[in-house]
Amino acid sequence: MMKPIKKNPILTFVSLASLLTIANGFSTNINLPKQKQMTTLMRVATETEVTNDFGSAMPATVEAVDPHVTIGVEPDDLAIGIDPVKFLELIGTKEDLKEKFQTDNKSWDAVRVEEEAVRYMMDCENVNMYLKYLQDRNENPEKYRAEALENELSLSNPKTIATYAAWLVGGVSIGIFRTEILAPKLASGEWQLPSFMSMN
């Protein structure tokens, strides 16, 4: 025959606490303290805000704005296969693109700039290659800094060739002047070195 279980207050308390914990675990309505609920809501609100690290024409808040409107074109004026959001982030608006074309090609008038901008935005392959380049440049600035320095120092750069040419011409000219003009004039006594430069 089994012995009756003695009533132990600690055992009863632990059993009751376990039962309540299990029951609350399956409950859909968890009563959090008000301050904790507010903190959670504030954290969720701040996490849903969009940050804009690109400094582009992309709006900083999430709204139902068609990127084509912000770019300044109709959806049919941007080639199929170009992501309008990425275009806006990395290149900017149509006006930004026209400004870049005008800066790079100073001889173009406003009509030509407009035509080239429209033609460029319909060229999916070139636009996507340029977007890929811009994104890579933003992610790896050191790589492009090193390439720019290498290009600046290469012999294909006209500035570098001009610098080398100036040094060569200067060095040869000084040598010719010293041997063809200075030395004979000093030897004939027509010219004399200043006293601080004379060897005597």
The residues near 183 (Cβ < 8 Å, ≥ 6 apart) are none
Q: Using alpha carbons, select from 119, 55, 51 the residue that is nearest to residue 90.
A: 55
Domain contains 25: no
Domain contains 173: yes
Domain contains 59: no
pTM for the structure as a whole: 0.44
Dump pLDDT digits (tens) for 160-177.
677 777 878 878 788 888
Clarify whether residues 168 and 133 are in a common domain.
no
Clarify whether residues 83 and 132 are in a common domain.
yes
Containing structural domain, residue 134: 67-139
Q: Provide the number of structural domains found in the chain.
A: 2
∠ CA 56-62-65, rounded to 5°: 80
Domain contains 5: no
Domain contains 43: no
- Please say if the pLDDT value at position 116 is more than 90: yes
The pLDDT mean for the chain works out to 75
The answer to whether the CB of 98 falls within 8 A of the CB of 56 is no
Dump pLDDT digits (tens) for 25-64.
555 554 544 444 444 334 434 444 444 444 555 555 545 6
Clarify whether residues 96 and 128 are in a common domain.
yes
What pLDDT does residue 11 have? 62
